[in-house]
Structure 1
């Protein structure tokens, strides 16, 4: 560095002229002498790489977060700016108690939008000329349509290349009926847990011949789901529809079939007045052992109403004491507050196993202090009671 500093300014400027401009400018940090030397270089070269880096630039400009105090006018203005800047992904989640947010009309005819995710206080007033030719992903989470016609315009022709659609109707019933007709759609998820203003006339019609993944969760029995088109490419379909057996008080269920735990839990949730529950297996000469599959009895989010308020009799025939069966028995005893009797019949076990099994039952916590535990095997002379 000392040798270079001894050179004349003219020679130094010739050397700097051969270097890239960004390196020339950086020499100003070397010492006081170099601080302004670069300004005397006779030629500076600037290269415009904007075209080659436009994707990175666009990515930078496509992310914007508005504050809590942003008004509906602010949101509308920024949406218009985003459209003018050719945004490709747009996510809007707004929470307002007073004003509904209406999207500007330019958004409904924007050619470059590929992903649109909307949530909460947004009202969709879809114009007749709606056309989103590039939109592939659409998420509508607890938003409202201004009317049924707005839903029809958007979901039946307004998105010709749509591949993924997620609809969450958990906080509203708008629209009460809608028709989804998108030939290109491959993934569809619909969630409806709206419990107020339940209307049996609610109807969802799906016409999506290319559908591969379907997920429908309707926990409020809000209406009817119609699949009006064959779906030959379907890979996974999960449909959870609440059906209540409001008058059911006595239930007997076979526990030697596949996924009987899932069926039992569904029946308990759907039978709020159930008083008697009996689990049976096939007769010995037709015994079918189902594969034991772990079921999260201890981690369920809620306890069925029938266990808390009505179930008073529980019985299990051909109980063999496997881990899954123990977990289920423990779950029922722990939550059945009105239970009066719980009886197991262990006709398929060895005699020496019976006292051990029954001792395990007695060790389980019982929510009902009046619950009486009974054990039975053939011949019936051998009884245990606690």
Structure 2
């Protein structure tokens, strides 16, 4: 008869577990401090501080962090500035980020944060200050624009350019800057013109530039000259009339957006020389009639005619670019806001392979319907391989809008391989706004009943509550009813 000592077995297992933990902890403690700091820098600051309870060695290790990313609610900012910030004593700061959430006032004081960073500014390579309240305008010290080692700069609150910034000869000195994201706000357009031009000219390595400008109290025309041989990606957002002259021969991506530009003011974009490597273009602000927010000269469209990726608002853009053929365009994305048209643009995209429609959550309570061209575009019949539709559940008459579009596309797309529909939740709480609603099960049944011209096409449907797909081929909804019922 066999006897087993259960208590002794438990003790042996506990001993082995303890030995394994001690062994792993011992290997971690064998690492030098600078490697442990690399590991801690990958954690959120709050988690890095929590390691102080591990042992005596770890108690103050976090105070020597050289990558500091602060993500904090505004109501916790003052305690942090007084209790935690003074304990961060490392003289070498490589990355410094501050993300303020739940900001409810335009009057905030973060001068102590900048004062603390000023003592360590010689080595800062990445500086990031972002808030979720777009209209705050804290005082940004000038040393931020004179960091010799800075590689990335992101300032998302408004950067107020005072009138005494007009002399910008010594304002910017960023010899190693490669990426900049800045929002400007000023009352004198001449200050903005000089500041932006100086930022670009004093950053010989700049590759990625994103800026937004807001100007008040001045109706004069604004002309900004952006000249950079290193610039590859340019993103611009305007809230006022502006003319941007671009001289960037190596540019490969450009994004243009008009954000509530007061009419009849318009913004204009022109190129000195055509970029030879331009691959992607995104334009927001095309409207119809005489109320166009954007005035784009014909040479601009000749420049972007060779892009492979194009994103635009679906607001009848074709009259503006009717003479242009996008000979290399393979990916086209429509941002559908307040109109349902633009499919005629497919006639000008003979090489198109991927078509994306983003039905914005603000597309509700409208009576618009799709405007289809008289004859099916050649690319839709012979080249188009993939269609993606992103829709929000608040879109009014969602089922009608989707099925009307899909009947047209699937009937003509003979080379289609994949149709993917994704229902995404709204980005914000829009309760009480709009009346969009749909029966998900009924929509899926109708979707898979739409006849398809392509024998190889398959359909996928994704939503927060379900995921349905078929294996390809022309199928009816009968194979799906057991799953849906």
TM-score (norm 1): 0.51
1:238 partner SS: strand
Deviation of 1:91 (Å): 0.3
1:294 and 2:337 equivalent? no
Is 1:262 the equivalent of 2:355?
yes
**Aligned counterparts, 1:164-243, within 5 A:** 164-169=207-212, 173=214, 179-190=224-235, 192=237, 201-218=240-257, 222=261, 224-243=267-286
Q: Conserved in 1, the CA contact under 8 Å of 2:342 and 2:371? A: yes
Q: Is the 8 A contact 1:207 1:228 kept in 2?
A: yes
Q: Decide whether the 8 Å contact of 2:256 with 2:282 is kept in 1.
A: yes
Quickly say closer, same or farther: Cα 1:341–1:147, change in 2 above 3 A: same
Match of 2:112 in 1: 74
Match of 2:75 in 1: none
Asked if residue 324 in structure 1 is aligned to residue 441 in structure 2, the reply is no
Q: Following TM superposition, by how much is the alpha carbon of 1:282 offset from its aligned partner in structure 2, in angstroms?
A: 5.6
Instruction: Report the 3-state secondary structure (helix = DSSP H, G, I; strand = E; otherwise coil) of the residue aligned with 2:282.
Output: strand
Say if 1:236 and 1:361 are closer, same or farther in 2 by CA, change over 3 A.
Answer: farther
Residue segments in structure 1 that go unaligned for 5+ positions in a row: 1-58, 350-355, 365-386
CA distance in 1, matches of 2:448, 2:476: 13
- Structure 1 residues 77 and 127: alpha-carbon distance in aligned structure 2, compared to 1, 3 A threshold: farther
Structure with the bigger RCO (C-alpha within 8 Å, sep 6+) is: 1
Question: Does residue 1:359 correspond to 2:476, yes or no?
Answer: yes
Provide the secondary structure at the position in 1 that maps to 2:272.
coil
Equivalent residues of 2:343, 2:372 under 8 A apart: yes
Larger-Rg structure: 1
Counterpart selection for 1:104 from 129, 141, 145: 141
- State the distance in 2 between where 1:96 and 1:119 align: 12
Q: Does 1:87 align with 2:123?
A: yes
- Decide whether aligned partners of structure 1 residues 72 and 359 sit closer, same or farther in structure 2, where only a CA change above 3 A counts: closer
Matched with 2:49 is none
Distance 1:268 1:335 in 2: 22
Kept in 2, the 8 Å contact 1:247–1:273? The answer is no
C-alpha separation in 2, matches of 1:188 and 1:292? 28
CA offsets 1:188-243 (integer angstroms, 9 cap, x no match): 33154x8xxxx6x5335042233332230537585534133103443433223343
Compute the RMSD of aligned alpha carbons.
Answer: 5.6
CA contact (8 A) 1:321 1:357 kept: no
Residue 257 of structure 1, CA deviation: 5.1
Moved more, 312-321 or 132-141: 312-321
Between the aligned partners of 2:116 and 2:110, the Cα distance in structure 1 is 10
